[in-house]
Structure 1
C-alpha cells in the first residue's frame, strides 16, 4: 500500500510529428480516496480516443457526464485510464480517424443500473459472440463524443478485504507457576544397517559389472 507516500517520476515524451523529446519530473502524493474505494466499478472501452486525449480533467468530466446517464447515478469518479495497447490491442494503422482505444474504469458507491446489468447479461454476451450489439434498455449518453464498445464492458464489485490481526509478541518471560514442557525425547536409532546398504550395494554392482566386462573382453573375443 502506497497511501501517504510521495512518488517522484521522470516522464519522457516525444512529438509524433517532429520527434522532439521533452522531460519533466512529476511528484505524485498518494492519499486515500474520500469515502474509501468505490465498491461498484465499471470499465468501458472507448474506441475513438487515444489515452492522452482522456487524461485532461475536462475530458474526464465529459466522460463522467456520459457515464452518469447510463449508470443513473451522479457519485461517479474515474479510477483508472489505460491504453488498449497495454491490454494486447493492435497498433492502429496510420489512417486519419483511427485511434488506439482507451479503457476507462469508473467507480461508484451506488449499485449498477438495469441498463448496465442488461449489457453484461448472458443474452448480451451471446449476441456479442454473433457480432451483434448487446441488449441495452437505455439511451447511449456517451454519443457522439465517445464511441463505447459495449461488448467489452466489464462490471466489478470490489469489497474491502477484512484485515487479519497481526501476531502478538509476548515478553519472552515464562509466567509464574507456568509449566515448561520440554520436547519429547526420540529413541536412538541404529543407522548401521542403512549405512551398510548404501555403501555395499553400489560396490557389489560395480564388481559384477567389472566381472562381466572382463569376461566379454577376454573370453568373448572374435576368433577365440
Structure 2
C-alpha cells in the first residue's frame, strides 16, 4: 500500500472514531444515576426508630424500570453523610434483594440533633443507582425515659418481621395482657444474632430470634415478677418452664422464651446543673483576664529517682550474683577433705596408670603387629594381599589353609 493511500485510510478512521465519540453522551449526563428529593424524618430519644426503604419508590426512579415490575432485585446501601458507616445506634437489614430494606435502632440522649443518612439503591439487572438523603432529627422524649423496662425474646421471628408498625402494635397489645399497663411502648428491637446468637439451621420454620425491649412508667405486674423470681430461674436451669400465674397472651403469634426475660428498673440519678447562659458581654470595668501561667515544677527529684533506683537494683543483683559465683565455690581442697582416702587412692592410681600408658603409646617405635595385617598365616608367616588383582593366577587367599599341605 502506497503512502497516500495509507494516509487516506488513517484520516477516514479518525473521522469515523470522532463521529462515534460525538454521538455518545457525556459521562456526567448519563441517566444511570438519579437523586431523589431529601426526606426528613424525626424520632424521639429512647424510642424505637424504624424507616422502611420502599422498593416501589426507587423502582420508579430507575430509567429502565417498569411500573409493576416487582421482580427487579434492588440492593440498598446506607451510611452516615461524609462517613463510611452508620451511627452505632442505627442498623440496616435486608433479607433479600426482592424485599424492602429497613433502618432501625434506638437513639440515645447523646444523639440529639440532625443526622444525614445517605441511601443508595442499586438495580442488580441494569446496574442503575438511585440516591436519597434522609435528614433524621433526634428530639428529646417529652416524658423522659421509662423507668420500668422489660426485654422479651421472641423465638419465632426474624428482626425484619418485627419492624413493621402493625406487628409492633400487635406485640404491645399482647404485652399489655401480662403487664397490665396502658402506656407501653417499644424501646428497641435487636436481632438475636447481634447478641451472640447462632445462625439457625436451614429448616422450615427456624428463625433467628428477636429481642424486643418494652418500657412503661408503671410497675411490673406480679406475672412478670414471678417469671423472673429465683424459683423460676432455678426451674430454667433445670430445663423447665418458669413460674407464671397469668395467661400467656403472646401465643400463638409470638413464641416468648420466658427463661430469657429480663426486667430492668431504672433509678433516676442526680441531674448535673446545666450551664448558665449570660448575655455574652463583659460586665462594666471587667477586662478579660487570661489564665495565669502554671508554676514551674522541679523535675530533678523525679529524674533522679527514675534513673538511680534501677541502677541501684542492678548493682545489688550484680553483687549477689558475683558472691554466689565466686565466694560460694566448693574448691578442690575442700572436696578432697570430704572424700575418703581409699577413693582418693583409687582415683590417683587410675590417673597415674592412664598417664603412663599415654606416655608409652607416644614413645614406642616398633613395627605393626603381624596379627593386624590382612591374610596373615600364623604357621607359615605368609602374607597375601586382599586385592584379587595383586594375586593373578593365585587361588583365593581367604580359602587358603593355615597349615601347609
Tell me the distance in 2 between the aligned counterparts of 1:87 and 1:38: 22
Tell me the distance in 2 between the aligned counterparts of 1:36 and 1:30: 14
Distance 1:159 1:119, change over 3 A: same
1:87 deviation in Å?
0.5
Is residue 208 of structure 2 the alignment partner of residue 100 of structure 1? Answer: yes
Larger helix proportion of the pair:
2
Classify the secondary structure of the residue corresponding to 1:38: coil
Classify the secondary structure of the residue corresponding to 1:27: strand
1:64 and 1:78 in contact (8 A); partners too: yes
Find 1:91's aligned residue among 199, 202, 205.
Answer: 199
Find 1:119's aligned residue among 224, 227, 234.
Answer: 227
Is residue 174 of structure 2 the alignment partner of residue 66 of structure 1? Answer: yes
1:145 deviation in Å?
0.5
Distance 1:142 1:108, change over 3 A: same
Is residue 162 of structure 2 the alignment partner of residue 54 of structure 1? Answer: yes
Classify the secondary structure of the residue corresponding to 1:2: helix
Which blocks of at least 5 consecutive residues in structure 2 are unaligned?
1-108, 123-128, 277-287, 326-405
1:13 deviation in Å?
8.6
Higher relative contact order (CA 8 A, sep 6+): 1
Paired residues, what number?
184
Q: What is the TM-score when the length of structure 1 is the normalising length? A: 0.69
1:5 corresponding residue in structure 2: 113
1:96 deviation in Å?
1.3
Q: 1:131-210 counterparts in 2 under 5 A? A: 131-165=239-273
1:222 corresponding residue in structure 2: none
Distance 1:11 1:156, change over 3 A: farther
Q: What is the TM-score when the length of structure 2 is the normalising length? A: 0.40
Is residue 147 of structure 2 the alignment partner of residue 39 of structure 1? Answer: yes
Tell me the distance in 2 between the aligned counterparts of 1:101 and 1:13: 28
Classify the secondary structure of the residue corresponding to 1:9: strand
1:120 deviation in Å?
0.1
Deviations 1:6-39 (A, max 9, x none): 222345799xxxxxx9976543221112311000
Classify the secondary structure of the residue corresponding to 2:215: strand
Aligned-CA RMSD value: 3.8
Is residue 217 of structure 2 the alignment partner of residue 109 of structure 1? Answer: yes
1:4 deviation in Å?
3.5
Classify the secondary structure of the residue corresponding to 2:139: coil
1:162 deviation in Å?
1.3
Classify the secondary structure of the residue corresponding to 1:97: coil
Distance 1:22 1:108, change over 3 A: farther
